[in-house]
Amino acid sequence: MFEAIVCGAVLRFFQSLFQASPFILVGLFVAGVFQRLFGPEHTRRMFGGRGLRAIFRAWAIGMLLPVCSLGVIPVVRQMRKAGLPGGTILAFALAAPLFNPLSLLYGLTLSEPFIIVAFAICSLIVITIVGMVWDRQFPATEQLEPPSAVVPVGWKRLLSIVVVGAREIVGASGAYVLIGLSGVVLLTVLLPQGSMQRWMNADNPAAPILMSLVALPAYASPMLAMSQLGTMFQHGNSVGAAFVLLTLGAGMNLGLVAWTVRSYGWKRTGGWLGLLFGVVLLLSYGIEKPLFPSHTEMADHTHAFDVYCCPFTKDVHAPAMQVFARLGQDVQIHEMASFLLLMLFVGLGIFLQWFDQYWVIETWLERPVAAAVAPKTRLDMVVPAPVLGGTALIAVIVVSVVGCFAYYPSADEVFEEIKIAKTEALSAAMAGQHEQAIHWIAVWDEWTRKLQIGVYLREWKLSEYHCERARIILEKLEILEHEVADHDLDEIRKLAAELNRASLWMKVAYLEER
């Protein structure tokens, strides 16, 4: 039993770290831009200082940047150094992890578009109320630190951004990220496998409260939170609990709480958390019935929250080997590449800390140029640091939007991936390989959803007929998942035949009947 819990905790820790790596890298880059290109003055100007206008700007900017609740930590640290008020900083910290172009598009295929828009508006209400009350109750929370020396124009400015990111990830930001990931380990130890399958049913009035207790220590990337939201709506779970999951699960973690305590003290942090939980729970109960999808039947249970529980039972065989097998199956290529790049930042940061005893690189980066060099041509111009920083942030947003086309490929590419997932899922299901079947069913489900988004991105339309073809597949996959869990071979064979036919008709619809 002890080995299963330890191995389960290790698995959940690294699954979360791999998922967070791309967002942490973006956060380190944005932190470097704030410190080295914007500086305190232009950072304050971008967010607007104090008041309702500043909080709305923080919400809007946060919604555009592709960061998660871990990736936002180095950014809020730089905002704090720039002298921004606590209400604005905490508004940004909550808003940034909730939505980005990738997760927003994904969310629109998981539930009614109106619900996702309503959740975005509710998040703005939460952020506005909490931010305004915070600033009123705790005025003068600004703490401006001396700005970093200006780095001369040229490639040194770009190198300085890398240095900031490397020092952040092995410094305070890295420590807060580890604290945030410790919440995942804590839940794995406390929650046995499958223990949350019936907690979030719509007929459970305590569902939002139970979700709030789990969501804060949990780590949910924007994509994971969206997929769980879709599963909750598909199973007829509590809408209020879904909103709590998005706001607190995707928007918060223990590392962010620890940073708040360190920056503002226990009293202010307690007041902020109490106010945040109160507003979120009040809204969650208010939207429970109005937003509940009327066409959805309430399911008996859901597997959406198994990721927060221990992945292994006490009688599991060789859990250490299963950790490597699960990571090999679950980690995607872009997550692995981001993780390796993040480890390079960690290595660079450790090297710089060791090398500081001999030579501090910032001294060289900040050394002024002896004499200005005149531009050779009209195109050889000096770009002011704030302009370069603004361009860099816009580039991050543009890359995020353009990345949607890579993350949601064309229909031809998707059907090649669906073919693989279908073969693996049905073969494993009929062979009685439960874990393998569940994994590939989830992959098949995800590619089916990506198919709809990819087609919409390229054609700006998606007929109800095409949506219905995809919906049939998704419904049958859900039934197959339950039959695999019940080990009903006759029903599995029947569903396999139905899924083969439905998959063929979906392929014809998306490739030939446009």
How confident is the model over 79-105, as pLDDT tens digits? 998 888 888 888 888 888 877 766 776
The pLDDT of residue 255 is 92
**What CATH number should be reported for the domain whose range is 410-514?**
1.20.120
- Give the span between the Cα atoms of 5 and 443, in whole angstroms: 26
The pLDDT of residue 107 is 65
Mean pLDDT in residue range 271-283: 88
Asked whether 255 and 139 are in contact (CB, 8 A), the reply is no
pLDDT over threshold 70, residue 267: yes
- Give the span between the Cα atoms of 307 and 413, in whole angstroms: 28
Q: What is the pTM of this model?
A: 0.86
Least confident of 18-32, 306-320, 450-464, 472-486: 306-320
Mean pLDDT in residue range 121-144: 81
pLDDT over threshold 60, residue 110: no
If one compares 70 and 362, the residue with the highest pLDDT of the two is 70
Sole residue written with tokens 């300085």: 160
- Give the span between the Cα atoms of 7 and 189, in whole angstroms: 10
Under DSSP, is residue 362 helix (H, G, I), strand (E, B) or coil?
A: helix
Could you report the per-residue pLDDT of 4-36, keeping only the tens digit for each? Answer: 788 888 888 998 999 899 999 999 999 999 988
Q: Whole-angstrom distance between the N-terminal and C-terminal Cα of the chain?
A: 54
If one compares 146 and 279, the residue with the highest pLDDT of the two is 279
Asked whether 476 and 499 are in contact (CB, 8 A), the reply is yes
Neighbours of 250 (CB within 10 A): 29
Least confident of 46-50, 200-204, 283-287: 200-204
**Residue 74: pLDDT band with limits 50, 70, 90:** very high
Give me the helices (H) in 65-206, please.
73-81, 86-95, 101-110, 113-137, 155-169, 172-190
Under DSSP, is residue 370 helix (H, G, I), strand (E, B) or coil?
A: coil
- Give the span between the Cα atoms of 450 and 405, in whole angstroms: 10
pLDDT over threshold 70, residue 506: yes
Q: Give pairs for 320-327: CB < 8 Å, separation 24+.
A: 320/3, 320/7, 322/7, 322/11, 323/7, 323/10, 323/11, 323/14, 326/11, 326/15, 327/11, 327/14, 327/15, 327/18
**Residue 385: pLDDT band with limits 50, 70, 90:** confident
The pLDDT of residue 295 is 61
Could you report the per-residue pLDDT of 205-237, keeping only the tens digit for each? Answer: 888 888 888 888 888 887 777 777 766 666 667
Could you report the per-residue pLDDT of 176-199, keeping only the tens digit for each? Answer: 999 999 998 888 888 777 666 667
- Give the span between the Cα atoms of 122 and 280, in whole angstroms: 9
Locate 146 and state its tokens.
């001396």
Asked whether 32 and 161 are in contact (CB, 8 A), the reply is yes
- Give the span between the Cα atoms of 147 and 152, in whole angstroms: 15
Sole residue written with tokens 């005893």: 357
**Residue 111: pLDDT band with limits 50, 70, 90:** low
Name the average pLDDT for the chain. 82
- Give the span between the Cα atoms of 355 and 372, in whole angstroms: 30
Q: What is the CA radius of gyration of the chain?
A: 24
**Residue 484: pLDDT band with limits 50, 70, 90:** confident
Mean pLDDT in residue range 324-349: 89
According to CATH, where is 1.20.120 located in the chain? Answer: 410-514
- Give the span between the Cα atoms of 147 and 160, in whole angstroms: 14
